[in-house]
Structure formats: structure tokens, C-alpha cells
Chains A and B, each alone.
Chain A
Amino acid sequence: MQTIICSHCDLVSQKPILAPGYVAKCARCERILYKNKAVNANKLFALSITALLICIPAFSSPLISIHLLGVTEEANLLQGAIMMIDIAPLVSFVVLFCAVVAPTLLTVCIAFSSGCVVFNKRPSLLNSVLKLTAILFHWSMLEVYLVSFMVAVFKLISYADVYFNSGLYFFVALLILNMTMLCEYSNTKYWEYSRNE
């Protein structure tokens, strides 16, 4: 008899036999015990490579521009984080990490591990990459950034005329790709692959 341990409450359960796409919940704490996700590594590999390409314009092209007394000023995602580095280094570091570094690194990690599955390789680096992926999940905050962006736009409207720029479209595309990727991805399945089960 196969058993499984709940990571939320430590209860031992029988390992359920699930059809793909179904989720088993713990009898005691009612949290997710096991998900039988059908992970498509090819799809994830393609999505992550696309996301990596889109990262470049999304972070470096201007998101908005404002017109104030005849002067036009543009702003991109990286600028905002880097410009505060002298005045408030901690704020700058957190913004840079949560909005740029973590999502990019997460995409690189998923690209790497999916690539391993696609080309049927098990390098020793794979375990470390999977560990890193689990940590980065918490810190990738692109969706929070988009909402913050909207809040900032509403604040700016009272000072100047605001125009959306190309960077915003790239950013939204990146967000959608990122969300799709995270929905498709399953750390458990990749660990199973890494152990050659």
C-alpha cells in the first residue's frame, strides 16, 4: 500500500489513484495533498523560451510617458528600481528582485528543467534548479506590479497627461505567459522525473 504525507498537517494518507487533472485533498486539514497534473514539458519549454525573449523589451522599453508643460518623460520598469539605489537601496533592491530578478530567474529555471525533460537528460544541476524554482515561486510578483502600475497611473493623472507605451504591451504579454507557465508547472512531477520514477 502506497502512502502519502500531508505537507500542511503531517497526516499519513493512502496515496490516491487519480485521473489526470484531478486533485486529492487531505482528510484532516482539507488542503491539497496531491495533484495529478498532466505536465507537458514541450509546452513549458516553448512558453519559457518565449517569456525569456519577451522579458527584454518588457523590462527595458518605456511603460508610460507623461506630458507635462510641453516636456515628455518616459519611464520603464528597470529605471524606477535603479534610480532609488542611492536614496533607498533596500527599497530599490526589493523592487528589482521581486519585479525583475525573480520572474526572470524563475523562467530560466523552468526553461532549464523543461529542457532536461524534453532532451531526456538528468544533469546534477537539475536538483538545485528545482530547489531554486520552489523558492522563487514566492518572490515572482509580476501580477502585483501590474496592479501597482494601475494605481500609479491613477495617481499620475492628477498631475499630467499619461500615455501608455509599447513596454506595457510586452509586460502584459509577459504576465500572461508567466501565469500560463506557473499553472502548467508542477514541481512534484519534475522531482519524480529527476528521481527517474
Chain B
Amino acid sequence: MSKLLKPGISAMQQGTQLCRVCTMDSSISANTTHCPYCGSPISVRIKHSQQKTWALLLTAMVFIIPANLYPITYLLKNSTLYPDTIFSGIISLFESGMIGIALIVFIASILVPILKIIALSFISLAVHFQWQLSPKKQLFAFKIVDWVGRWSVLDLFVISIMVAVFDKGNFLSVYPGIAATSFTVVVITTLFAAQSFDTRLIWDANTNAK
């Protein structure tokens, strides 16, 4: 630690940056590229955080359309192919009386990806246009998005189990459809989008927040 920091104001205003890898602080002017403690690349804020987040979000917005419209799995039964989209799968679960399971799949595969895209876009817009909203609420929303995001992988795991069980194709077999790949792209890009978003920007944008 090169100099004493004053509590109560942000580190950036005091010429200090935090290493996100080893959580040590160092001077911004003296260490422009690498953390002096652990040697990993360092920057005051995540480099091009907004651009990366937007690029990934736009990709997710594009791919969420085929993910929901095209069949995610094909069921081959008595040499007839039955396609199933995400939504029709949920409907058939609902109709067979498994409302709880249908709800889990609905939340994980439809609600979470859409909410994630909306929430992240909203926070990014708020940061970009410096809307003076409550930073604490924005961070709270971001943390929910971040935590809940991993659960959208659920549908992919379900497909992999179904494919493995009905593998020999005797009477029934299951194949992943085009939507499975599109849905994977949505899940991965939204996960990376949340990771590339720097929450400290929320406070940088709120000039009058203390």
C-alpha cells in the first residue's frame, strides 16, 4: 500500500485501483497494465465493460427468437418425428398434471433468460445515460440476475439426460433440435454479459449519490 486512503469516497478518486483477482489495491498511475501483487492484467474498471455487455446482450436478443420458435427436442416414436419447442414441452408437462415441474422449467427456460436480458439492458442504459436511480436497487437487481442466471442451464441438462436414456432408439429416441443450440448461445452470452458488467460503474454514473 503506497499511501493512506481516506474512507468514505471511492478509490478511483484517490488514484487507487483494486485488483479483481487478488483483491489488493495499487496506485493507478504506477501500475497501468498489471497488478504488482499477483501479476494479472489490471484496470480501474473492467475494460470496455459496457461495450462487451451490449455486444453479448444483443447476441442473446437475436438468438432468443429461434430458441423459442424452433423445436428444442425431437421425439422419434414408431418412426414418427414429434417436435417439441420449449413452450410446448411446458404445456405438455402442465397438461399431464405436473404443475410444479412445469413451473420450474418455465422459470428456468423462459422467464429467467428474458428477465436477465431486460434487467441487464435496463441497468446498462441507466449507467450509460446517467439516469439518477437508486444505485443500491440497481445493484440488487444485478445480483439477482447474476445468481439466477446459472439456473437456465437446467433445460440443457434435461435434454442431455433424455438423450442418454433414449439412446438405442428401440421404440423411442430423443434428438436435440436447432433451438437447443440457440438456447445454449442465449445462456452462455447472458452469463458472460453479467460477468463483463462492472457494478462499480453504477456508482460512477450516479454523481449525486453519496
Considering only residues 1-44 of chain A, those with a C-beta below 8 Å from chain B are 1, 3, 5, 7-14, 28-31
Identity of the chain A residue whose Cβ is nearest the Cβ of B204 in the assembled complex:
A10
User: A10 and B184 in contact (CB under 8 A), knowing A5-B18, A138-B150, A148-B154?
Assistant: no
Instruction: State A10–B176 Cα separation when bound (angstroms).
Output: 44
A119 close to chain B: CB less than 8 A: no
Q: What's the minimum C-beta distance from B55 to chain A, rounded to whole angstroms?
A: 18
Contact (Cβ within 8 A) A11 B167: no
User: A154 and B157 in contact (CB under 8 A), knowing A66-B165, A131-B40?
Assistant: no
Interface residues on chain B, number (Cβ under 8 Å): 70
A71 close to chain B: CB less than 8 A: yes
Instruction: State A8–B140 Cα separation when bound (angstroms).
Output: 11
Contact (Cβ within 8 A) B93 A155: yes
Instruction: State A83–B24 Cα separation when bound (angstroms).
Output: 45
User: A11 and B10 in contact (CB under 8 A), knowing A66-B165, A149-B157?
Assistant: yes
A112 close to chain B: CB less than 8 A: no
Contact (Cβ within 8 A) A12 B14: yes
Residue of A8, A10, A68 ringed by the most chain B CB atoms within 10 A:
A10
Q: What's the minimum C-beta distance from B22 to chain A, rounded to whole angstroms?
A: 5
A95 close to chain B: CB less than 8 A: yes
Give the contact stretch, choosing among A50-58, A103-111, A139-147, A173-181: A139-147
> Which residues in A have their C-beta under 8 angstroms from that of B39?
127
**Sample (15) of A-B pairs whose CB atoms are under 8 Å apart:** A5-B11, A8-B200, A9-B200, A10-B204, A11-B8, A13-B8, A71-B170, A71-B171, A80-B161, A88-B176, A88-B184, A147-B151, A155-B158, A156-B162, A191-B24
Interface residue ranges, B against A (CB under 8 Å): 1, 4-12, 14, 16, 18, 20-25, 37-40, 93, 96, 98, 101, 104-105, 135-136, 139, 143, 150-151, 153-168, 170-172, 175-176, 180-181, 184-185, 187-188, 191, 195, 199-200, 202-204, 210
Interface residue ranges, A against B (CB under 8 Å): 1, 3, 5, 7-14, 28-31, 63-64, 66, 68-69, 71, 73, 75-76, 79-81, 83-84, 87-88, 90-92, 94-95, 98-99, 127, 130-131, 134, 138, 141, 144-145, 147-152, 154-156, 158-159, 188, 191, 194-195
